[in-house]
Structure 1
Amino acid sequence: MFPLKDAEMGAFTFFASALPHDVCGSNGLPLTPNSIKILGRFQILKTITHPRLCQYVDISRGKHERLVVVAEHCERSLEDLLRERKPVSYSKVLCIAFEVLQGLQYMNKHGIVHRALSPHNVLLDRKGHVKLAKFGLYHMTAYGDDVDFPIGYPSYLAPEVIAQGIFKTTDHVPSEKPLPSGPKSDVWSLGIILFELCMGRKLFQSLDISEHLKFLLTLDCVDDPVTVLAEEHGCLDIIKELPETVIDLLKKCLTFHPSKRPTPDELMKDKVFSEVSPSYTPFTKPASLFSSSLRCADLTLPEDISQLYKDIDSDYLAERSIEEVYYLWCLAGGDLEKELVNKEIIRSKPPICTLPNFVFEDGESFGQGRDRSSLLDDTTVTLSLCQLRNRLKDVGGEAFYPLLEDDSNELSAAATLPLIIRERDTEYQLNRIILFDRLLKAYPYKKNQIWKEARVDIPPLMRGLTWAALLGVEGAIHAKYDAIDKDTPIPTDRQIEVDIPRCHQYDELLSSPEGHAKFRRVLKAWVVSHPDLVYWQGLDSLCAPFLYLNFNNEALAYACMSAFIPKYLYNFFLKDNSHVIQEYLTVFSQMIAFHDPELSNHLNEIGFIPDLYAIPWFLTMFTHVFPLHKIFHLWDTLLLGNSSFPFCIGVAILQQLRDRLLANGFNECILLFSDLPEIDIERCVRESINLFCWTPKSATYRQHAQPPKPASDSSGLRSSAPYFSTECAEPPKTDLSRESIPLNDLKSEVSPRISAEDLIDLCELTVTGHFKTPTKKTKSSKPKLLVVDIRNSEDFIRGHISSSINIPFSVAFTAEGELAQGPYTTMLQSFKGKVIVIVGNVAKHTAEFAAHLVKMKYPRVCILDGGINKIKPTGLLTVPSPQI
């Protein structure tokens, strides 16, 4: 987007056509409101940026099908020139014509026709350059089909448009719709505007629509429509004084037959603009973040570096994009509806006046006339930035140009506030948006710093690109996406069509027909490009967050989804995924026992196993469970962790429901999960991180997880990062790593296994006092580790892990299953709540010992994979000195 510069933001409103309530579409579902259709089509307009076009910013949907559109705005327009009632100079007319054609040409390249071209929609910025306003109204309303007013102004509509008349179709009454207006209709409108500028006054002011149409039809029989127009409006003397170049331009614009009339692109190349066009440089859109083009290819520095210096009175806010300024305006208390009410564009009515009609006692009936509110009020209200500027008055200029290499920069006090407050803090969001904008422009060079800042929080405005960076998306994603065949029918099409109308349809954007079409293309692209995988229900829910954040960039939504699935859902979408799912759920059960043995015992006793509730959680990474606004906050943290982090999220959800689960039986638990209670997502994220920090990495080992990548290819993260950190790459497999075991053996064990290398690292971390976690505060509370060796005393004396205690399995428990009293009992109880690793030389005994401790509600119990034999080759076993 362009910087705001000297432009302003404006808002205008209109109503979409209301639909009947008792009619369904051809698919049997209720009709999609026209306002939602318009909202979906509007989104693409935000991507059409050009110096000669007013930038669209946002659209909001209100009550009774009201829509409010926000766009770049300028106070002056060609209407002001016509009010002066003086002919405009020929050179200026040519400049205006050429700049209007630039905007029209760029629109046409994107399939957009203005149709509403008129003097008050041709704005002039402070330098006098043209900016076309409301150029997207015809497109967003489906060529006028979704509103009750015509698109365009009769005085400026082309003859073929007026002859066609107003024609509307509906979903429930199929009919043959005429072709929409083409680019040539705008050329006629431009011709009328230029004619008025040359005359110094408006035309057709006294004619009604029927007289106008009759007059236009007579132009079909004349060779010189410009002269006929001049005679009709008494300005033939002015026409005679115009240069031949201007007359020629008017004649080409006002050619009656569309087949003979030039398009904007053709007209721009006409010799009439030979004096204007040499200084014209075609606009090229800057390279996008994810492309094969060099983003800095056209970057140049001025010869005088001092020109880069901004004086103390510089308007730094105006240097930011209009999208950012509008976002901050909303945070600072901006209210679109209030602005329109203050300008009396929105007027409230007493309820009695909204009734169809009313009857007095004497039987006299009064009905309402046509409701004028359904027509278009073309007024644009300028949005004042005073409140926003006042809010940011204490923000220094250095905040707009942060030094990325300066690690000494401290976050503001707002960084310690809850996330929901930070996201509504104007000054805080300004700082975060500017920082992330600069970091993302330096992606992938600044990948590590993006990751570091994302650990604090991600500004909502920058979330889509930030997620893509965290997922390691790179390269020419658009070329790859465009090369995928998304049109040829495949067997999965039917299931996709059924699933989309049920996926997050509370959201206006995703429920729009445009949203459904994008859903269909992205999902089909994924299915086609992954022939070894299949479409499972839930894939649409996984797609939803990426599509919402990248609605105008399907290629990026597809690329993010394609990077996300292998990382967190590797092989989940195999045709036969039962072994993958079962292993995942088994590991999850072990995580519940590891972190909350009391809850685990209860759920197992009543038979409420994860298979009954957790499959939709993990198959959709919680997108089937939570609304999008909660998923955004959840995934902000999920994307920072590895593939085991979802286990911690699942345990955190259960712990929020802990009291209700412990108090209920199987049937009540089933009902509880059929309509999941409200979950505090910020608390869930906070507790998930804590659980993740307490979980040894190998405890969540899965045979069917994605194979580890080399450290240099693991999203740019350091391979030497601590195990209890979300910043960890997959380490290479060694002799001390965990070994795969059959699924049945895994299911028979209540507690998770950890690898020998994990045990060694944990012992070292405990001894040295550097038990690292993702947060600085946890250093003061150093967790401890207890190794319980369950071999007999003789084996223990021959060699054992330093600081371990010996509780022989044969005498550890009484017949009642209680822990037998002994010198080790006090030691074991003192470590309750810390990590307890069971070591032995018989796998069955270690599993049983761990299960006994879980029954006794000992948390964080795990088993050493491979037993003591895995440690023997390391030379780390100690032998006690003989007593003298």
Structure 2
Amino acid sequence: MKPLRDAQLGAFTFFASALPHDVCGSNGLPLTPNSIKILGRFQLLKTISHPRLCQYVDISRGKHERLVVVTEHYESSLNDFQKQVQTVSPERVLQIAYEALEGLEFMNKHGMVHRALNAQNVLMDGKGKVKLAKFGLYYMTDHGADVDFPIGYPSYLAPEVIAQGSVHPSDPSQGENPLPSGPKTDVWSLGVLLFELCAVSSLKPPCLDLMNDYLIELSVRSCIDDIVTVLAEEHGCLDAIRVSLKSIISHCLLHWSAKTTLRFDSVLPSRPTPAELLVDPVFEGVSCLYAPFQQPVGLFSSSLRCAHLELPEDISQLCKDDDEEYLGERAIDEVYHLWCLAGGDLEKELTNKEIIQSKPPVCTLPNFLLEDGESFGQGRDRSFLLDDTTVTLSLCQLKNRLKDVAGEAYYPLLEDEQSSLSQSNSSNELSCTVTLPLIIRERDTEYQLIRIILFDRLLKAYPYKKNLVWKEARVDIPPLIRGLAWAALLGVEGDIQAKYDSIDKDTPIPTDRQIEVDIPRCHQYDELLSSPQGHRKFRRVLKAWVVSHPDLVYWQGLDSLCAPFLWLNFNNEPLAYACMSAFIPKYLYNFFLKDNSHVIQEYLTVFSQMIAFHDPELSNHLNEIGFIPDLYAIPWFLTMFTHVFPLHKIFHLWDTLLLGNSSFPFCIGVAILQQLRDRLLANGFNECILLFSDLPEIDIERCVRESINLFCWTPKSATYRQHAQPPKAQGDSSTNGFGKAANYYSSDYQDMPKTDLSREPLALSDLKAEVSPRISAEDLIDLCELSVGGQTKRSKASKPKILAVDIRSIEDFGRGHISGSISIPYSTAFSPDGELVQCPATGTLQSFRGRVIVVISHAMKSAAMFATHLVKVNYPRVTTLDGGINKMKPTGLLTVPSPQI
């Protein structure tokens, strides 16, 4: 969005038409409220940015179908300009006409028509440039179909519009619906405005009352000619300017077809469009004063973002003055976001200006008619009619809140090794804010300003600053920039628009029917996603994914998986598609195969082993009552928890999920179970089923915190899956992780080059037979701090504590064992037929409780049995060494004890 600069934030409100409560649509579902339809269409208006248009910022939905729109606003309008200026020069009128036509042409390129042009909606900024306001009202209300008031002002409406009457385009009772207004409608309105502007300067006030009569009479041409001639003579203008001004007004008002009569319903408008008027020779002397508008290049594009960057010869000109209004250089949506955080309340502002008037319920009773014709109660409440007043939102409270933020904070140095928070005078306060819960940080105005500016700078330097984006994302991600931040974390690059456009999203495919059924049920609680625009975008993005992945199929749940990306990138379908396409291979590789049973079963088995690894007591209980992950965890992982949690919780959860590798979802699942631990341990199978049918409230911040801790305690090879994503190309992996304590886990085990010490694929039946996970020999070497070539591989601070338990015989242990391991022979604990003789968890092993235990043996069967018994007696973090001691023999790392003399 454009910077705020000398603009202000304004808000206006109106009501959408109410729908009957007892009517359903063709799909059997209740009709979508008109206010939600408007809210969905409004999102496109936020993307339309032009110097001649007031930027739309936000829309909020209140009670009784009330909508409040926030937009760029200026106090001065063309109406004020007419009152303040005694005479207007023809050159100035031509400039105003040209600037207004620039805005109208840009709107038309996006398929929009203003239809509400009047002197109050033509605003003027501090430099006197035209800014068209309320240009999206006609579009967002579906050409007036979703509101009870007409769009436009009768004095400025074109004759063909007045001839149609106040008919809703979607009103079935009107027979053939009238066509929506086109660009030529605005040209007429502009002509009336220019005629007014000239008349104010040339005629005395009483003559203005006759203006409409002039337009109706056939002598209107001579009337305009006389007015413009008088105006030109007063200003001593050249005859060419007088002719140009008369010509442009005549083009706007008088360029009708030969069928023109005094009956306006037979008028066939053949006047030019704004685009045609802009290239008219009358503007030759004006157009040279304006540089052509260039649309800013987006983050993901084939064009160079800094191709037109120019630095001044004197670099000191970039430095800001001490009294510089730094906030004005931020984007309008940023300023509004901060205004809300600083305590801004739209309805309160409108109530203070008496735009919203609350009444006691008794005063809103309907009108009641008796048999004798006598009536009681209230007439129609005029507060439900349109009041087009725009209220200016005061920024004083926001500026007061940010008064301690130093100017340097608005321009952080990315190469500075110091914390970005030190850029503020109140750095101590902000440093303390980092330690507060995330929900508090997201509502802290000063903290969010610093984070938004920092991320904005980093993302503009993406992908060159990718590592810094990862680093800052470990702290937190500002909600306002979450969509682009996620794209950076997922490694999205290139011309995503061209790729998305190349996908056929229109040709019918067999999946269309299932998508149509699923979408109306997906996140219906969210106003944006439940709107018709949201459903349309859902269909396009989902279909694009299905078509572009012919080896995969659509499964129920894919719509829920798409929802977070679509919500964050509602106006950027290509980016939503690109993020979704990058997310699925990383976390849900092959989950959407036509036959995905083997993938799902392997995933659930590894998850079951993770429960046993981190919480053996809970694992034992769930296994005893038969409450296996197949009964509750499939929707968790198939939708990455989007089917379970509302979007606001998913955003916080995925902020962390995207920093982890493909094994992190296992830790999230275990963390959820641990929050429900007490209730699960106290209940049986039936109660657990009921518990998960309506999942209790989950503390997401606690879940995230515990997931990271579980992730850091899990050896990276313990979650190995043979159906996971194949290794990436060399140098393609991202530097992720959760800081120094998790450096060991920064890369996905699947991406590591395979060696003789790596984990071997295991048949699903064998995997299910083992309660504890296996870890690889290379993992053991790394975790045990064994020296390779005289050099320790990693520091102790980056790994969990580990204990190797060798269950071979005393003789075999003496021939060679891993340094630091302890010997508990299998034969001392189990009989040859596998029966328990003595509990191995007593004695020496008890003192090491809490460490990661790696059971080592000749045969995996005995190691698995030993580990299973440790789990049964509630020993946490138990693993087995994949391949046994035989994997370690070729390494030369086995230790032989020195003979005692």
TM range (shorter): over 0.9
Equivalent residue for 2:580? 561
RMSD, matched Cα: 2.7
Q: Report the Cα distance in structure 1 between the residues aligned to 2:851 and 2:203, rounded to whole angstroms.
A: 86
Equivalent residue for 1:503? 522
Amino acid at match of 1:334: G
Amino acid at match of 2:806: D
Equivalent residue for 1:5? 5
Amino acid at match of 2:765: N
Q: Report the Cα distance in structure 2 between the residues aligned to 1:175 and 1:493, rounded to whole angstroms.
A: 32
Cα distance 1:758–1:99, how it changes in 2: closer, same or farther (>3 A)?
A: same
Q: Give SS of 1:510's match.
A: coil
Map 1:725-740 → 2, pairs under 5 A: 725=744, 727-729=746-748, 730-740=751-761
Q: Report the Cα distance in structure 2 between the residues aligned to 1:191 and 1:174, rounded to whole angstroms.
A: 31
Map 1:365-380 → 2, pairs under 5 A: 365-380=375-390
Q: Report the Cα distance in structure 1 between the residues aligned to 2:817 and 2:132, rounded to whole angstroms.
A: 81
Q: Scaled by the length of structure 2, what TM-score is found?
A: 0.92
Cα distance 1:122–1:725, how it changes in 2: closer, same or farther (>3 A)?
A: farther
Amino acid at match of 2:97: A
Cα distance 1:212–1:227, how it changes in 2: closer, same or farther (>3 A)?
A: closer
Cα distance 1:44–1:81, how it changes in 2: closer, same or farther (>3 A)?
A: same
**Match among 222, 227, 230 for residue 222 of structure 2:** 227
Cα distance, 1:732 vs structure 2: 1.1
Q: Give SS of 1:417's match.
A: coil
Cα distance, 1:243 vs structure 2: 1.1
Query: Residue deviations 1:312-340, cap 9 Å, x none?
Result: 11111111001100000000000000000
Amino acid at match of 1:435: L
The answer to whether structure 1 residue 812 and structure 2 residue 790 are counterparts is no
**Match among 457, 474, 485 for residue 455 of structure 1:** 474
Q: Could you list the runs of 5+ residues in structure 2 that have no partner in the other structure?
A: 235-240, 258-267, 422-430
Cα distance, 1:25 vs structure 2: 1.6
Q: Report the Cα distance in structure 2 between the residues aligned to 1:279 and 1:205, rounded to whole angstroms.
A: 33
The answer to whether structure 1 residue 839 and structure 2 residue 856 are counterparts is yes
Q: Report the Cα distance in structure 2 between the residues aligned to 1:501 and 1:439, rounded to whole angstroms.
A: 37
Map 1:107-256 → 2, pairs under 5 A: 107-170=107-170, 176-200=176-200, 218=216, 222=218, 225-227=220-222, 243-254=242-253, 255-256=255-256
Equivalent residue for 1:757? 778
Cα distance 1:434–1:203, how it changes in 2: closer, same or farther (>3 A)?
A: farther
Equivalent residue for 1:655? 674
Query: Residue deviations 1:663-713, cap 9 Å, x none?
Result: 000000000000000000000000000000000000000000001213410
**Match among 297, 308, 326 for residue 316 of structure 1:** 326
Do the aligned residues in 2 keep the contact of 1:159 with 1:213 (CA within 8 Å)?
no
Equivalent residue for 1:296? 306
Cα distance, 1:803 vs structure 2: 1.2
Q: Give SS of 2:29's match.
A: coil
The answer to whether structure 1 residue 402 and structure 2 residue 412 are counterparts is yes
Cα distance 1:250–1:169, how it changes in 2: closer, same or farther (>3 A)?
A: closer
Q: Report the Cα distance in structure 2 between the residues aligned to 1:251 and 1:408, rounded to whole angstroms.
A: 65
Q: Report the Cα distance in structure 2 between the residues aligned to 1:112 and 1:283, rounded to whole angstroms.
A: 18
Cα distance 1:184–1:759, how it changes in 2: closer, same or farther (>3 A)?
A: same
Q: Report the Cα distance in structure 2 between the residues aligned to 1:149 and 1:261, rounded to whole angstroms.
A: 27
The answer to whether structure 1 residue 748 and structure 2 residue 765 are counterparts is no
Q: Give SS of 2:886's match.
A: helix
**Match among 562, 569, 575 for residue 543 of structure 1:** 562
Equivalent residue for 1:777? none
**Match among 263, 280, 297 for residue 270 of structure 1:** 280
Structure 1, 523-532 or 718-727: larger mean CA deviation: 718-727
Equivalent residue for 1:863? 880
Amino acid at match of 2:499: K
Cα distance, 1:619 vs structure 2: 0.2
The answer to whether structure 1 residue 574 and structure 2 residue 593 are counterparts is yes
Do the aligned residues in 2 keep the contact of 1:695 with 1:724 (CA within 8 Å)?
no
Cα distance 1:666–1:214, how it changes in 2: closer, same or farther (>3 A)?
A: farther
Q: Report the Cα distance in structure 2 between the residues aligned to 1:181 and 1:363, rounded to whole angstroms.
A: 42
Amino acid at match of 2:112: I
Amino acid at match of 1:398: E
Cα distance, 1:375 vs structure 2: 1.7
Q: Report the Cα distance in structure 2 between the residues aligned to 1:206 and 1:39, rounded to whole angstroms.
A: 43
Q: Give SS of 2:528's match.
A: helix
Amino acid at match of 1:306: S
Equivalent residue for 2:238? none
Structure 1, 250-259 or 547-556: larger mean CA deviation: 250-259
Do the aligned residues in 2 keep the contact of 1:736 with 1:755 (CA within 8 Å)?
yes
Equivalent residue for 1:334? 344
Q: Percent identity?
A: 75
Structure 1, 439-448 or 248-257: larger mean CA deviation: 248-257
Cα distance, 1:356 vs structure 2: 0.9
Equivalent residue for 2:536? 517
Q: Give SS of 1:626's match.
A: coil
Do the aligned residues in 1 keep the contact of 2:470 with 2:735 (CA within 8 Å)?
no
Q: Report the Cα distance in structure 2 between the residues aligned to 1:743 and 1:293, rounded to whole angstroms.
A: 49
Equivalent residue for 2:504? 485
Q: Give SS of 2:44's match.
A: helix
Cα distance, 1:169 vs structure 2: 5.0
Cα distance 1:282–1:589, how it changes in 2: closer, same or farther (>3 A)?
A: same
Q: Report the Cα distance in structure 2 between the residues aligned to 1:171 and 1:672, rounded to whole angstroms.
A: 48
Q: Report the Cα distance in structure 2 between the residues aligned to 1:393 and 1:657, rounded to whole angstroms.
A: 45
Equivalent residue for 1:776? none
Q: Give SS of 1:515's match.
A: helix
Equivalent residue for 1:881? 898
The answer to whether structure 1 residue 770 and structure 2 residue 795 are counterparts is yes
Q: Report the Cα distance in structure 1 between the residues aligned to 2:623 and 2:212, rounded to whole angstroms.
A: 81
Cα distance, 1:792 vs structure 2: 1.3
Cα distance 1:799–1:514, how it changes in 2: closer, same or farther (>3 A)?
A: same
Cα distance 1:744–1:202, how it changes in 2: closer, same or farther (>3 A)?
A: farther
Cα distance 1:179–1:301, how it changes in 2: closer, same or farther (>3 A)?
A: same
Cα distance, 1:229 vs structure 2: 6.7
**Match among 306, 314, 318 for residue 316 of structure 2:** 306
Q: Report the Cα distance in structure 1 between the residues aligned to 2:633 and 2:204, rounded to whole angstroms.
A: 69
Equivalent residue for 2:428? none
Do the aligned residues in 2 keep the contact of 1:711 with 1:717 (CA within 8 Å)?
no
Equivalent residue for 1:787? 804
Do the aligned residues in 2 keep the contact of 1:523 with 1:543 (CA within 8 Å)?
yes
Cα distance, 1:176 vs structure 2: 3.5
The answer to whether structure 1 residue 389 and structure 2 residue 384 are counterparts is no
Q: Give SS of 1:837's match.
A: strand
Q: Report the Cα distance in structure 1 between the residues aligned to 2:686 and 2:355, rounded to whole angstroms.
A: 56
Q: Give SS of 1:445's match.
A: coil
Query: Residue deviations 1:359-381, cap 9 Å, x none?
Result: 89999532432322222101100
Cα distance, 1:772 vs structure 2: 4.0
Do the aligned residues in 1 keep the contact of 2:442 with 2:448 (CA within 8 Å)?
yes
Cα distance 1:359–1:141, how it changes in 2: closer, same or farther (>3 A)?
A: closer
Do the aligned residues in 2 keep the contact of 1:542 with 1:621 (CA within 8 Å)?
yes
Q: Report the Cα distance in structure 2 between the residues aligned to 1:390 and 1:108, rounded to whole angstroms.
A: 40
Cα distance, 1:84 vs structure 2: 4.0
Equivalent residue for 1:86? 86
Query: Residue deviations 1:167-192, cap 9 Å, x none?
Result: 12558879532211111110110100
Q: Scaled by the length of structure 1, what TM-score is found?
A: 0.94
May I ask how many residue pairs the two structures share in their alignment?
868
**Match among 780, 796, 820 for residue 803 of structure 1:** 820
Q: Report the Cα distance in structure 1 between the residues aligned to 2:319 and 2:233, rounded to whole angstroms.
A: 52
Cα distance, 1:827 vs structure 2: 2.0
Structure 1, 240-249 or 460-469: larger mean CA deviation: 240-249
Cα distance, 1:215 vs structure 2: 8.0
Q: Report the Cα distance in structure 2 between the residues aligned to 1:204 and 1:34, rounded to whole angstroms.
A: 46
Do the aligned residues in 2 keep the contact of 1:26 with 1:172 (CA within 8 Å)?
no
Do the aligned residues in 2 keep the contact of 1:720 with 1:728 (CA within 8 Å)?
no
